[in-house]
Chains A and B, each alone.
Chain A
Amino acid sequence: MAIDLNEAKKLAKLSRLEFTEDELKKFANEFEGILSQVKAIDKVDVSKIDLKESSAKILATKLREDIVQASFSQCQVIQNAPSKKDGAFLVPITVDEEGCK
């Protein structure tokens, strides 16, 4: 089972990653090997499996109260930002004066 180049391009877009055509071809080839391994799950009979069983336990976990409390300072929140200004994250313009870009 393989994926074609168009499918690889679609995946790259979903992943917000850029590749050269050659890199994508390499990925598509590697995918063939990986997906043939992954298809092993097809041989397991899951007709009697109810996924709700696995989520039940997580719901039994104690939830904390929704209380307003101190968190990071603004300074800490932006301390690792690659670009910042006046205590905010700086990004390219996404909305111009007419309301769209």
Chain B
Amino acid sequence: MSYLDLSLREVRDLLVKGTVTSEELVRECFDKIKETSDLNALTSTYFDMAINKAKEIDLARKNGEQLGVLAGIPIVLKDNINLVNTKTTCCSKFLENFVSPYTATCASKLINAGAIIIAKANMDEFAMGSSTETSAFGICHNPIDKTCVPGGSSGGSACAVASKQCFGALGTDTGGSIREPAGFCGVVGLKPTYGRVSRFGVVAFASSLDQVGPLTRTVEDSAIMLGVIAGSDEHDMTASLEPVKDYTIDLDKGVKGLKIGVPKQFFNEQLKGEVREALIKALDTYKALGAELVEIDLPSVDTALAVYYILSSAEAASNLARFDGVKYGVRADKYEDLVDLYYKSRTQGFGSEVKRRIMLGNYVLSSGYFDAFYRKAKRVQLVIKKEFIEAFKICDVIVSPTTATPAFKIGEKMQDPVSMYLSDIYTVPVNIAGIPAISIPCGKDKNGLPIGMQLLGKHFDETTLFRVANAYEKSTKEGK
């Protein structure tokens, strides 16, 4: 058995005991990265930096120094998270050569806890996509079936964890970009409450929806990583002052006496086949474990996708206006004047999905449409949020599938943006309401592709999410 088969917590125990060194772990990860390089999960790797850091931590451990909770553990960052003096490309040609002058707060927190950043992960360009096919640096493959997508936009992060290139990764989630790839690759993906984790140093897509979160092999690992990256930040006014908890504290409390909400809008005739069967089986498991299932009503939840595409595109159009070919990023070779420089640089630097979202964003923000689209969508967002708050009065968590189907084939949805957008139908409402949600593995289809189950929680109640998710994972023992 390889150390790479262990969870982050298990390998941490072995590091503490002295059974294994951090240097050995880093070397094993890099062997695996080499062996599985055809997956194209990573965009940059930092072997020398990682080995040096591992040696430092091993020495400090030998000397009996007090070390952080992630000391010596190899971790991967999505390529939209800044790490000083390394490239942050967002998998866009526009930022192909961008070198970060600073480190994102979430990455600093990992490093301060002793984590070893070994690589950056592939993603959809500027996190806009559900398959990692819009990356300017090549498609990432699903490690279970290479002809399938790993999901997106944090497809590289999910693939790296599932293929055992690292013990955990950070992704970002604006409409499902952590949970959908976690579901497709058979790992655990958490989108924390909006504001739970600082966004400082994370390249913005839709600032009011973006949230950083961990992708891990187990629920416990997810809780450990959230405990490290959560917290307020003077550099991000939307990072909440809500105190950070020990998220592992309730992991083993079980679900006896808890109420699990089953939304009738998610468990309708549209939920079909093996995903439906897997979810029904999971609900039976929860009942057997002592939870009570209660039907809940989220009358407007089916409009969340529409709200999402209006708000996220509007914010993206605004956020991506800064890419002008002047301060950083690519500049076109030929242009007539300053305005032409903007046109030419943006046209050459952005891929087609990014251009589509910028156009859509400017459409919903333009005069004559602002009230009908943007302002209306902001109001519908509040309606959806209130419906969730109301639903949580009668249940502790809500359950849903992560996606309607397991991973789809590479190329299957690239020509049809609407069908691609529909991949996020179960994940998007969570971002619209600002609540936390976790995707955990919930069986496999007949081809062996993972099926994901999503658990949704109350604002800032990640602890209960981990508790409910862990109860299921333990009962099935398929969490690793």
Given known pairs A72-B102, A81-B326, the reply for A17 and B355 (CB within 8 Å) is yes
Partner of B327, one of A41, A43, A89, A92: A89
B370 at the interface (CB under 8 A from A): no
Number of inter-chain CB pairs below 8 Å: 146
CA distance A10 to B331 in the complex (A): 23
Given known pairs A12-B359, A15-B355, A89-B326, the reply for A37 and B380 (CB within 8 Å) is no
A6 at the interface (CB under 8 A from B): no
Interface residues on B, range: 35 or more
CA distance A94 to B359 in the complex (A): 27
Q: Are A82 and B330 in contact (CB under 8 A)?
A: yes
Q: Are A49 and B343 in contact (CB under 8 A)?
A: no
Q: Are B356 and A30 in contact (CB under 8 A)?
A: yes
A16 at the interface (CB under 8 A from B): yes
Q: Are B341 and A91 in contact (CB under 8 A)?
A: yes
CB distance from A41 to the nearest CB of B (A): 5
CA distance A8 to B376 in the complex (A): 22
Set of chain B residues within 8 Å of A68, measured between Cβ atoms: none
Given known pairs A46-B376, A89-B327, the reply for A40 and B303 (CB within 8 Å) is yes
A33 at the interface (CB under 8 A from B): yes
CA distance A91 to B338 in the complex (A): 7
Partner of A17, one of B305, B346, B418: B346
We find that the number of chain A residues with CB closer than 8 angstroms to chain B is 49
CA distance A63 to B321 in the complex (A): 26
Given known pairs A53-B382, A61-B238, the reply for A80 and B327 (CB within 8 Å) is yes
Q: Are B99 and A14 in contact (CB under 8 A)?
A: no
CB distance from A94 to the nearest CB of B (A): 5
B317 at the interface (CB under 8 A from A): yes
Q: Are B377 and A18 in contact (CB under 8 A)?
A: no
Q: Are A64 and B378 in contact (CB under 8 A)?
A: no
Q: Are A41 and B376 in contact (CB under 8 A)?
A: yes
Given known pairs A31-B363, A49-B383, the reply for A44 and B300 (CB within 8 Å) is yes
B→A interface (CB under 8 Å): 97-99, 101-102, 232, 234, 237-238, 240-241, 300, 302-303, 305-307, 309-310, 317, 321, 324-331, 335, 337-339, 341-344, 346-347, 350, 355-356, 358-360, 362-364, 366, 373, 375-383, 385, 416-418, 421
Query: 3 closest A-B pairs (Cβ-Cβ)?
Result: A80-B328, A82-B331, A46-B379
